[in-house]
Structure 1
Amino acid sequence: MLSFLVAKVPRRKTVVENPIIFEGGRSQLYLYPKDSDSKYVMRCTTPPQPSAAEIKAGASVDNSIINPPHHFHVYQEEYFEVVKGTMQVKLDGAHEIVQQGETVTIMPGIYHWFSNASESDELVVDIGLNLNSKSRDERFFRNLYSYLEDCNRAGGGEEAAKKGGTAAGGPKTAPNPFQMKLFLHSADVALALPGLPKFVGMPLGRALVWVGAMVGKWVCGFSISYPEYYAG
C-alpha cells in the first residue's frame, strides 16, 4: 500500500449536518423522507450558471461541486422534480429543459448529467431515490460532496469557501481520481463515454471505474466512507 504517497485533504465534520452547506452557502444537500413507503429524496440546491461575460473573464462553466459528471447508474432508477428554477439535463445525448413543477425519470443505463439552466436564479431539484438503498446512497452522497468541498477548502482555505470557491487562497486541490472512482464504484455508478457506441462505452466505463476503485482501495489506501462525513 502506497498511501503515504497520497496527498491528504483535511476533512471537515459534516456527519451531523442536514442540510449540508457547501461553497459558502451557494449550494446544499438535504436528505428527507418523501410521502411514500418506497422513496426518499435528496434536495439539491445549485447556484446560477455564469454568464457569457463571466465565462469570458475566466469563470468556470462547471461552477458547482453539485454538478455531476456525465455518468450512468448500473441498477438504480432516479426521478428528478424541479422545485424551483430551471434545470438542463442531458439524457443519452438529448438536451432537455425542465421547468419548475416538471419531472424527469432516469432509468438504469441512461447517460445523464444535469445543471442549472439559469444565469440569475438558483436551482432546487428533488432527486427521488429508492428507500431500499437509502443507507448506501446517503453514504455515497455525503462522502462524495463533502470530499469535493474539502478539496476546495484545501486549496483556498476557509475564507475562500465562504466566498464560494478558492479566490482567497489560490487554485483548489484537485480531487484524487482514484478516490473518486472508489466512491462511484461503491454506489454502482459508472462513467459515461458518449463518444463510443453504448455496447462498447458502457462496459468500458464500468471497467475504468472498477480499476480505479481497486487502485484507490488497495494501493492508495482510500475508503468508501469516512467518519467525518457519514455514520452508519
Structure 2
Amino acid sequence: MATRGTQILNPRTGQRSVFLQTAQDTGGALFQMETFHPAHNAAEPEHTHPFQESRCQVLTGTLRFRVGGVERTVKPGEAIVIPPGVAHHFWNDGEVEAHAIQEFRPALNIEDFFVAYFALARDGKLSDGGIPKSVLQLAVLLKAYDRVLRPTNPPRFLQRVLMETLGPVGRLAGYRPDYI
C-alpha cells in the first residue's frame, strides 16, 4: 500500500511523483501527488478516469492537455478539472520542467495503479507508447484498475474481452496488478 511520501519515477517519460495525501490519509476521499515533468516529455496514452474527477494545478512551467479532443495549455497558477469519464492526456511541450499538483476524487485505488505502472516503466516492460508489452500483464492491469483508469485504445469492448478472458490467464501465469 502506498503511503504519504512515496516517491516514484517513470524513466520512459522522466515524470517524478511524490504522494502528498493517500486514500488511507483521507478516508478514501482524495489522492494527491506532486508531479515533475521534464521539458518535452512524452505523453502517456489517452485514458479516462470513469468514476473520478481529476484536477491538475500547474505551479511552474506549462503542461499541454488534450481533454475531450480539445487542446489547452495550463500555465503557472492555473488548474484544469477533468470530469469523470472524459478522455484526456497531457504532456510538457515547454522548454522547462513543469511542476504540478494532481488530485483524484475519490481516491479509489489509483495510487496503487501509479506505483505498478511506474514500476513497469522502470523495468522496461512498457512499449514506447506506454502500454505493457505483455498482453497478459495488460489484461491483469485492466481488470485490477478498471474503476480508476481506462485507456481509450483498444476500444472498451476489447478491453472487456481482455480483462475477462486473459486476465485470469495472466494471474495464473504469475502476472500481478501490484507489480512493484
Question: TM bucket by the smaller chain?
Answer: 0.7 to 0.9
Structure 2 partner of 1:146: 119
- Deviation of 1:112 (Å): 0.4
- Deviation of 1:114 (Å): 0.5
Tell me if 1:182 matches 2:135. Answer: no
Is the CA contact 1:144–1:180 (under 8 Å) kept in the aligned structure 2?
A: no
- Deviation of 1:26 (Å): 3.8
Is the CA contact 2:10–2:121 (under 8 Å) kept in the aligned structure 1?
A: no
Structure 1 partner of 2:7: 19
Q: TM-score, normalised by structure 1?
A: 0.61
Q: Which runs of 4+ in 1 moved over 4 A?
A: 14-17
| SS, match of residue 124 in structure 2 | helix
Tell me if 1:121 matches 2:96. Answer: yes
Q: What do the CA deviations read for 1:29-49 (whole angstroms, capped 9, x no partner)?
A: 111129x95433122212111
Compared CA separation, residues 143 and 16, structure 1 to 2 (3 A): farther
Give ranges in structure 2 of 5+ residues lacking alignment.
none
Compared CA separation, residues 85 and 43, structure 1 to 2 (3 A): same
Q: Which has the higher helix share?
A: 1
Structure 1 partner of 2:37: 46
Superposition map of 1:1-232 within 5 A: 18-23=6-11, 26-33=14-21, 38-49=29-40, 63-64=41-42, 67-118=43-94, 120-130=95-105, 132-133=107-108, 136-151=109-124, 175-187=133-145, 188=147, 189-192=149-152, 205-220=155-170, 221=173, 222-226=175-179, 229=180
Give ranges in structure 1 of 5+ residues lacking alignment.
1-13, 50-62, 156-164, 166-173, 194-203
| SS, match of residue 112 in structure 2 | helix
Distance 1:101 1:180 in 2: 36
Amino acid at match of 1:70: E
Distance 1:141 1:70 in 2: 15
Distance 2:93 2:111 in 1: 26
Q: What do the CA deviations read for 1:200-230 (whole angstroms, capped 9, x no partner)?
A: xxxx83322222233443223322113xx2x
Compared CA separation, residues 16 and 131, structure 1 to 2 (3 A): closer
Q: Across the two proteins, how many residue pairs are aligned to each other?
A: 167
Distance 1:102 1:183 in 2: 32
Q: TM-score, normalised by structure 2?
A: 0.76
Considering only aligned residues, what root-mean-square deviation do their CA atoms show, in Å? 3.3
Is the CA contact 1:190–1:205 (under 8 Å) kept in the aligned structure 2?
A: no
| Percent pairwise identity | 20
Q: Which has the higher strand share?
A: 2
- Deviation of 1:192 (Å): 1.9
Distance 2:82 2:46 in 1: 13
Amino acid at match of 2:104: L
Choose 1 or 2 for highest CA Rg.
1
- Deviation of 1:109 (Å): 1.7
Compared CA separation, residues 29 and 180, structure 1 to 2 (3 A): farther
Distance 1:182 1:82 in 2: 32
